[in-house]
C-alpha cells in the first residue's frame, strides 16, 4: 500500500479526534526537527549529500546516532531497490520505514482475571499521573479498575496516588510508608478478584537502589500477583520522560533489564521538540511503546498507534514559514 493511501485512509469520527489530539500533542516535535526533515526531502534530489543531511537531522531530532544511521541505510537500500527518483518519494518511503520501526510486534496481555499492570520508572517521569490516566482510559472503555499503592518507599507517594484515584473515580488499596509492596499489591489483586474487578494498576517504587534489589522486589511482586490470582495476567510498563529523550533511554536500559519490562509509556511528548526518541525505543530497549502522554489532563494519555504517530510527526508537505506567518498575522 502506497503512503498516499496510507494518509488518505477512511477513519471514524473517534479516530479523527484521536488524530487531532496526537497532532496537537506532537506540535513541538513536528514543527521543529521533523518539519526540517520534511522540508529537506520534499523538493530534493537524491544524492549522498541528502543522506548526510537527513542523518544529521534525525540525530538532532533525538532519534539517536545508531538508529539514525540505520534508518538512513534502510532508506538508501529502498531507494535503490524501488528505483525512487526524488525526495518526495524518499519521504514517503521514510514514513513507511519509521512506521514499521514503531509498530508493536505483539499485543498487550490483558486477558487475565484480573489483568494486572505494574508501572515502573525512576522518580519524576510522571509515573503516578500515568497510573491515574491509565485508570481513566480503561474505565472509559467500560473496565472496572482498581489501583494499588505499591510505592511504599517515597514519602507521600500513597497520598498523591489517592488524590489521582479520586479524580479518576476508582478505588485504591494502600498501606503505610515502609509496608511490603508485594503485600499491598497482593491485597489489591485479591480484592479485585473477589469483587469482580477487571484490572489492577499498581504503582512501584521509583528508586534504582541496585539492580539485584530491584529484580528481587519486582520478582516478589510478580509472585504475589500469581499467588493472589493464578488466572491473572501481568504487564510491566516502563515510564520514560520524552523531555530527557535519549538520556532517559540510556538510563532506562539497566532499569529495564532488571525489571523485565514488557512495554513503554512515553510521557511529556507535548513538552519537547525532540520527540524523536520514540523512534529508537525498540532498538535500544527491545520494548514496544504502548501509550504516550500528550498533555497534563487526565484524558491526555493515548494508546500508541504507530500509523497515527507517523502521520502526526511527518506531515505530507513542506511547511512554508512565510505562509504560516501570514496566516498568523491575518488571524491577529
Domain range annotation of the chain: 115-261
> What does the alpha-carbon distance between residue 215 and residue 226 come to, in Å, rounded to a whole number?
17
* Per-chain mean pLDDT for the chain: 86
The alpha carbon of residue 30 and the mean position of all alpha carbons in its chain are separated, in whole angstroms, by 16
CB of 297 closer than 8 Å to CB of 270: no
Question: How many CB atoms lie under 10 A from the CB of residue 43?
Answer: 10
Fold of 115-261: Rossmann fold (3.40.50)
Q: What is the pLDDT of residue 325?
A: 42
Q: What is the pTM of this model?
A: 0.88
H-type helices in the chain, by residue range? 3-7, 13-25, 27-29, 35-42, 48-60, 65-82, 87-102, 127-140, 157-168, 181-195, 211-228, 245-259, 281-285, 306-313, 321-331
User: Looking at the predicted structure, is the pLDDT value of residue 155 above 70?
Assistant: yes
Q: What is the pLDDT of residue 317?
A: 58
User: Looking at the predicted structure, is the pLDDT value of residue 157 above 90?
Assistant: no
> What does the alpha-carbon distance between residue 111 and residue 231 come to, in Å, rounded to a whole number?
9
What tens digit of pLDDT does each residue of 166-215 get? Answer: 999 999 999 878 889 999 999 999 999 999 999 999 999 876 556 677 77
Q: What is the pLDDT of residue 49?
A: 93
User: Looking at the predicted structure, is the pLDDT value of residue 241 above 50?
Assistant: yes
User: Looking at the predicted structure, is the pLDDT value of residue 299 above 80?
Assistant: yes
Largest CA-CA distance found in the chain, in angstroms, rounded: 65
Task: Select the more confidently predicted residue: 276 or 154.
Answer: 276
Amino acid at each position: 500500500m502506497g503512503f498516499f493511501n496510507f494518509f488518505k485512509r477512511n477513519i471514524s469520527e473517534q479516530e479523527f479526534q484521536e488524530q487531532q489530539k496526537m497532532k496537537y500533542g506532537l506540535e513541538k516535535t513536528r514543527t521543529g526537527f521533523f518539519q526540517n526533515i520534511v522540508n529537506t526531502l520534499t523538493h530534493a534530489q537524491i544524492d549522498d549529500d541528502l543522506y548526510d543531511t537527513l542523518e544529521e537531522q534525525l540525530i538532532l531530532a533525538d532519534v539517536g546516532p545508531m538508529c539514525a544511521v540505520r534508518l538512513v541505510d534502510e532508506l538508501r537500500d529502498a531507494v535503490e531497490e524501488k528505483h525512487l527518483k526524488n525526495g518526495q518519494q524518499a519521504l514517503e518511503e521514510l514514513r513507511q520505514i519509521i512506521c514499521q520501526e514503531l509498530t508493536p510486534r505483539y499485543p498487550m496481555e490483558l486477558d487475565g482475571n484480573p489483568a494486572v499492570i505494574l508501572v515502573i520508572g525512576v522518580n519524576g517521569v510522571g509515573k503516578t499521573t500515568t497510573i491515574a490516566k491509565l485508570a481513566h482510559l480503561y474505565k472509559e472503555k467500560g473496565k472496572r479498575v482498581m489501583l494499588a499503592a505499591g510505592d511504599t518507599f517515597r514519602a507521600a507517594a500513597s497520598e498523591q496516588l489517592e488524590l489521582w484515584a479520586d479524580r479518576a473515580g476508582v478505588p485504591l488499596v494502600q498501606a503505610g510508608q515502609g509496608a511490603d509492596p508485594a503485600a499491598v499489591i497482593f491485597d489489591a489483586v485479591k480484592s479485585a478478584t473477589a469483587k469482580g474487578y477487571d484490572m489492577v494498576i499498581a504503582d512501584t517504587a521509583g528508586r534504582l537502589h541496585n539492580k539485584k534489589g530491584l529484580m528481587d522486589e519486582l520478582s516478589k511482586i510478580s509472585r504475589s500477583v500469581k499467588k493472589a490470582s493464578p488466572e491473572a495476567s501481568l504487564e510491566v510498563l516502563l515510564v520514560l520522560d520524552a523531555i530527557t529523550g535519549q538520556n532517559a533511554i540510556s538510563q532506562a536500559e539497566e532499569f529495564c533489564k532488571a525489571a523485565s519490562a514488557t512495554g513503554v509509556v512515553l510521557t511529556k511528548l507535548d513538552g519537547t521538540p525532540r520527540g524523536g526518541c520514540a523512534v529508537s525505543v525498540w532498538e535500544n530497549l527491545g520494548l514496544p511503546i504502548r501509550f504516550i502522554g500528550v498533555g497534563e489532563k487526565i484524558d491526555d494519555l493515548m494508546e500508541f498507534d504507530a500509523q497515527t504517530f507517523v502521520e502526526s510527526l511527518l506531515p505530507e508537505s513542506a511547511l512554508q514559514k512565510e505562509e504560516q506567518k501570514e496566516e498568523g498575522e491575518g488571524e491577529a
